[in-house]
Amino acid sequence: ALMATTTYYLVVTDYCGVITTNEVTITVYDEFVASIAADQTICYNTVPEALTSTVSGGMGEYTYQWYEGETAIEGATAATYQPEALMATTTYYLVVTDYCGVITTNEVTITVYEDLAATAAADQTICYGTAPEPIVATATGGAGNYTYQWQVEGEDGFINIENASDATYQPETIYAATNYQCVVTDDCGTVTTNVVNITMYEEFLATAAADQVICYGTTPEPIVATATGGLGNYTYQWQIEGEDGFINIENASDATYQPETIYAETDYQCVVTDFCGTVTTNVVSITMYEDVVVTIAADQLICYFTAPEPLTSVVTGGAGNYTYQWQIEGEEGFMDIEGATDATYQPEALTGEAHYQLVVTDDCGTFTSNMVMITIIPLPTADAGDDQYVCEADDVQLDGYAENAGSVMWTTSGDGTFVDATLLDAVYMPGADDVDAGSVVLTLTAYAVEPCTDSDMDMVTIDFAPSVTANAGEDGTICEGDTYQTMGFTTAANSIMWSTAGDGSFDDPTSIAAVYTPGAADIAAGSVILTMGAEPIGPCTQWAYDDVEVTIVPNPTVNAGPDATICGTSTHVLSATATNYMTALWSTDGDGEFDNPASLTAEYTPGANDIANGGATLTLTITGYAPCYVELTDMVELTIIPLPEVFAGEDAFTCEGLAYTIADATAANASIMWTTDGTGTFDDPTLVNPTYTPSGVDLAMGVVTLTMTGTNGDPCNDEVMDSMELTVQNAPTINGGPNQDLCENDVADLYAIAENYLNVEWTTSGDGTFGDPSLLETAYTPGTNDIAGGEVVLTITAYGESVCGNVSDDVIVTIAMRPDVFAGEDTKVCEGESLELTEATADNFVSVLWTTAGDGTFDDATAVNPVYTPGDFDIMYGSVELTITAEAYAACGGTVDDAIVVSIDKAPEQPDMPMGDEHTCVYTVSSIYEVDAVTGANGYTWEISPEEAGTIEGAGAEATVTWNADFIGTCVIRVKAFNDCGESDWSDGIEVLHDECVGIDEGNDIHINIFPNPTTGVFTVTIEGLNEGVELSVMNYDGRLIHTETLENVSNYEHNFNLTQYPTGVYFLRLQGDNFLKVERIVVR
């Protein structure tokens, strides 16, 4: 292959010679090269600069074909090509053909900025007089070097807002609905956003109605709060004015409030709250008339059958339009008095007590006065009482009776006198003529109460009876111990009664011949006075009395003298006494002798049997005076005391600190007293076998002598002694050492101290072991039960000599367990929630402390099971490590810790729009729809609407729709994901047309353009390629029709829509012709 023009010739040689041929020139065209220039960046829907080509080489007879993408551009066959306005990035290249071949040039890319568009968000409804939330302009497409100018709508259209040149604009406080838009400019031009409508609730106001004037103690009419403006979600709180201002009324939270019964002027107001704030109504004042009070005057006291003073009234309070009705009390209560309707009433003349009251009525009700009582002074009546029969010697007690009397007066028909004749119960003292006459008539006169002058009288007859007499008989004499027979008589007596001046008693004191038995005092006195009383016969009441004296001859008395005690062979001189006697004589039950048995002070000499028996009984016999001759005896016990005998017992041993009880000592005929040559003490030194407690001096001496002394006491005072020796030995002592604190698995080193012992032994209350339990100093290894129990008592016992016994001391070993913590298994918590660390445990610790590797917080980091709230960093990182650290007890020291990893999960993101058939036919039984899996989702919830389209089942990323055989129309299928932390938003819905599928195509020749989409609610729809009448409709996600129109005789369509008054979500544009259906989705955000 040649790359340049070349000349050739041929040299031919044979036998005949060499020939050189003519030259042949191969001319080579220059290299065939072609290129186009250059890449461009242009604005949306603008015409780029013409594309030029550079071609060289080859034969030079070039043909050209420009390509857009892989498609040849019709008519683009020149070296230069001018593209039309472009709306998307496009790639071009050129194919050049020449005799020398075909060359495809480099590609030129015309980069088209996206269409410059701008939206503003968002419409707001705000409260009156507040500032809206900032509004934001979002620009897309174009060259990207945006500038902003916010505008506000005025009377003449939109005007620029000074200094409002950022993408975000904060409107000022406004007081009326206001529209804003933003003009966005970049290298590709200028666009104006949609209009942002700031609408406004009316001004939030509240009033309360209405003031009232009411009667005292009544309930006002309900009061009503009326709120206007604001969002309208009003809440109410009524208030009442108290001493410190208005205070809330409990449970008064409705627009209408029914006040309770009140007794004073009261003010109310209502505090109304809604989304736009809180306002307080005007004050509603409830004023009231004063309480109605009706009084009438006054109680009166009048004479029988006279008229009282007029009754007057005073009425205060109420509305004041009074009417009156006087009432009088009858058998069935108070009743109206006919014609008594004035404020004053004059009663008629009365013959009995009357009660009146006044009933007053006005607008505030009916009120009753106090009661007035008219008391009538009645006519007097006199009753002198029953006739009386009285004793001639008695005064007469009168018992008169009078009613309604101011005073009374007694008078007599005889010569007696009254103690006080003005008393109803006056006393009358009869005169001699009254008694001689045998009777008298007394008159009682009753006079009326002043000022009344009436009177009444009544008489009583008094008859008189004779008095009683008594004679007790002659004086007499009796012997001590005898009784006395009385002999008395009476006249005009109803009964008699004997009494004594002494202390004796009668067999029947009501008998004339009663028998009297003298008492001890009578006998001691030697005589007694007896009195006979005679009871008169009624009506006499004054008894008659007479006395008789009785003399009593006394019995003899004897006292042989006190018992006596003598020693051995001594004699005893007696000291007896006697009274009222003639003779005396001593005798004995023993074998002794008296020097003079008839003498009260005889001397007695005991016999041998008396001494052997320890004593004898001596008896004195006395004979009394005539005529009674009473004989008495008394005895003396004579005791003879022998010599004492004692034995102190055998010698013995005891131990330091131990008392010694003597058990083998004996004593006879003696009282005992123990003594010691040491300084110890006896519990009772007078016991035969006491207990002796040695002292420290005794212990130092080693041996003490205990002496027992016996004496037979007074009067003999003989004394004997005996001794025994008590040896006192030293007691063992032991000290196990101080209590100890150990950590588990440590060994306790023991150091005990002991004295005066034979050997020692360690023991344990637990299950551990000693190195050598017989040593004072040894080691103890705790057992498993010791450790589990946390404490063990170690006891060391020292064994003493002889009787000294054992002593022990305890060492308490407290065993601390090493701390153990468990933070719990790794777990998770949802974003925005707190985690209670319930699985954490800790044992054997002084304190615990939780720490975090993140930035969250614990409600109480010192608790074993706190609540942890993740921080922002924890959430951003997705997990955090939490550590619990436990501080050991002092015996163990140090700390231990454990950690847990907490994952912080989020609710799943919104799924993509489901995938599946967008057009199904009525004969399709079911269809399957699926969605791309969402990270972190545990399951999915599917929805089909309207519900009559069919049912959808599936909890995963795939669901099956079972179509309703009767359903024809458009439905929407959407899905949301969920996990333990919540659920996502619903996905965008896929619109599915379910119909008969007869002769309908998708209208592929029709082009629908919706922009912007997604949109804030304001968008433009253009349609190209229409060649028949069609029906255009816009509906929401639930199938509700929002807009419909019929397009006739048009090939192209353009219309601006505004859906800002509808909720955000998915909407559908439906274009229906005779043989096609086309649906586009619109997303309003």
611-626 confidence digits (pLDDT tens): 888 899 999 999 988 7
Rounded Cα gap, residues 1057 and 1044, in angstroms: 12
| Residue bearing tokens 């009432």 | 327
Q: How far is CA 213 from CA 101, 266, 286, in A?
A: 114, 11, 6
- Please give the pLDDT value at position 99: 86
Which three-class secondary structure state does DSSP give residue 428?
strand
- Please give the pLDDT value at position 439: 93
Q: Do you find a cis peptide bond into 627, omega within 30 degrees of 0? A: yes
pTM: 0.35
Assign 1001 a pLDDT band (cuts: 50, 70, 90). Answer: very low
CB 281, CB 289: distance < 8 Å: no
Average pLDDT on 663-671 reads: 90
Flag whether pLDDT at 427 surpasses 90: yes
CA diameter of the chain: 239
Q: What is the pLDDT of residues 824-861, one digit of tens each?
A: 999 999 988 999 999 999 999 999 999 999 999 999 99
Superfamily of 469-553 according to CATH: Immunoglobulins (2.60.40.10)
Q: How far is CA 1067 from CA 288, 929, 1023, 1055, 1063, in A?
A: 64, 20, 18, 16, 10
- Please give the pLDDT value at position 1068: 85
Which residue did the predictor score with more confidence, 627 or 193?
193
DSSP for 340-377? --SSSB----BSS-EEEEEEEEETTEEEE---EEEEEE
Assign 227 a pLDDT band (cuts: 50, 70, 90). Answer: very high
Q: What is the pLDDT of residues 1061-1083, one digit of tens each?
A: 888 888 888 888 877 778 788 88
Flag whether pLDDT at 321 surpasses 50: yes
Is CATH 3.40.50.12280 the classification given to domain 820-905?
no
610 phi and psi angles, rounded to 5 deg:
-55, -45
**Which residue, among 134, 141, 133, has the nearest Cα to 115 in the 3D structure?**
141
Flag whether pLDDT at 193 surpasses 90: yes
Provide CATH code, domain 117-200.
Answer: 2.60.40.10
How close are the terminal C-alpha atoms of the chain, in Å? 68
Which three-class secondary structure state does DSSP give residue 1001?
strand
Average pLDDT on 211-218 reads: 94
**Which residue, among 259, 133, 132, 165, has the nearest Cα to 208 in the 3D structure?**
259
| Residue bearing tokens 């005799």 | 99
Residues 6+ apart with CB under 8 A from 807: 731, 732, 733, 734, 797, 798, 800
Flag whether pLDDT at 514 surpasses 60: yes
What residue ranges in 817-935 does DSSP mark as E strands? 820-822, 827-830, 835-836, 841-843, 847-852, 857-858, 867-869, 879-887, 895-905, 919-921, 926-930
Q: Which amino acid is at 547?
A: D
**Are domains 33-112 and 820-905 of this chain identical in fold?**
yes
Average pLDDT on 767-789 reads: 94
Q: Is the dihedral of CA 602, 607, 613, 614 positive or negative?
A: positive
Is CATH 2.60.40.10 the classification given to domain 205-288?
yes
- Give CB contacts under 8 A, 24+ apart, made by 497-501: 497/532, 497/533, 497/535, 498/530, 498/531, 498/532, 498/533, 499/530, 499/531, 499/533, 500/528, 500/529, 500/530, 500/531, 501/528, 501/529, 501/530, 501/531
Average pLDDT on 282-306 reads: 93
CATH of 645-729, one of 1.10.3720.10, 1.10.3470.10, 2.60.40.10, 3.40.50.1950: 2.60.40.10
Q: How far is CA 29 from CA 8, 36, 62, 101, in A?
A: 17, 21, 13, 12
Average pLDDT on 658-672 reads: 91
Flag whether pLDDT at 313 surpasses 80: yes
CATH of 33-112, one of 2.60.120.340, 2.40.30.10, 1.20.58.220, 2.60.40.10: 2.60.40.10
Average pLDDT on 297-319 reads: 92
Average pLDDT on 412-427 reads: 95
- Please give the pLDDT value at position 1038: 67
pLDDT exceeding 70 applies to what percent of the chain?
Answer: 99
Average pLDDT on 37-46 reads: 92
Rounded Cα gap, residues 1067 and 1018, in angstroms: 13
Fold of 293-377: Immunoglobulin-like (2.60.40)
For residue 933, what are its two tokens?
């899996």
| Residue bearing tokens 């001596």 | 618
Average pLDDT on 628-647 reads: 88
Assign 775 a pLDDT band (cuts: 50, 70, 90). Answer: very high
Minimum mean pLDDT among 81-95, 567-581, 651-665, 986-1000: which range? Answer: 986-1000
CA atoms within 13 A on the CB side of 612: 6
Flag whether pLDDT at 568 surpasses 90: no
Average pLDDT on 133-149 reads: 95
DSSP for 624-644? E-TTT--EEEEEEEEEEE---
Average pLDDT on 50-59 reads: 93
Rounded Cα gap, residues 926 and 254, in angstroms: 54
For the chain, give every domain's residue range.
33-112, 117-200, 205-288, 293-377, 389-465, 469-553, 557-641, 645-729, 733-816, 820-905, 999-1085
CB 374, CB 308: distance < 8 Å: yes
Q: What angle do CA 670, 676, 680 make, to 5 degrees?
A: 125
Flag whether pLDDT at 1046 surpasses 80: yes
Average pLDDT on 760-783 reads: 95
Average pLDDT on 268-281 reads: 96
Other beta carbons within 10 Å of 396: 22
Q: How far is CA 493 from CA 144, 212, 388, 512, 542, in A?
A: 152, 95, 20, 12, 11
Fold of 557-641: Immunoglobulin-like (2.60.40)
Residues 6+ apart with CB under 8 A from 1030: 1046, 1047, 1071, 1072, 1073
CA atoms within 13 A on the CB side of 302: 20
Q: Do you find a cis peptide bond into 210, omega within 30 degrees of 0? A: yes
CATH of 999-1085, one of 3.60.10.10, 3.40.50.1970, 3.30.420.40, 2.60.40.1930: 2.60.40.1930
Superfamily of 733-816 according to CATH: Immunoglobulins (2.60.40.10)
Q: How far is CA 595 from CA 224, 602, 636, 1059, in A?
A: 133, 6, 16, 159
- Please give the pLDDT value at position 1000: 40
**Which residue, among 927, 950, 914, 933, has the nearest Cα to 1066 in the 3D structure?**
914
Q: How far is CA 555 from CA 387, 520, 524, 672, 854, in A?
A: 61, 12, 10, 48, 122
- Please give the pLDDT value at position 923: 65
| Residue bearing tokens 């899996």 | 933
CB 105, CB 34: distance < 8 Å: yes
The pLDDT mean for the chain works out to 91
- Please give the pLDDT value at position 999: 40
Provide CATH code, domain 389-465.
Answer: 2.60.40.10
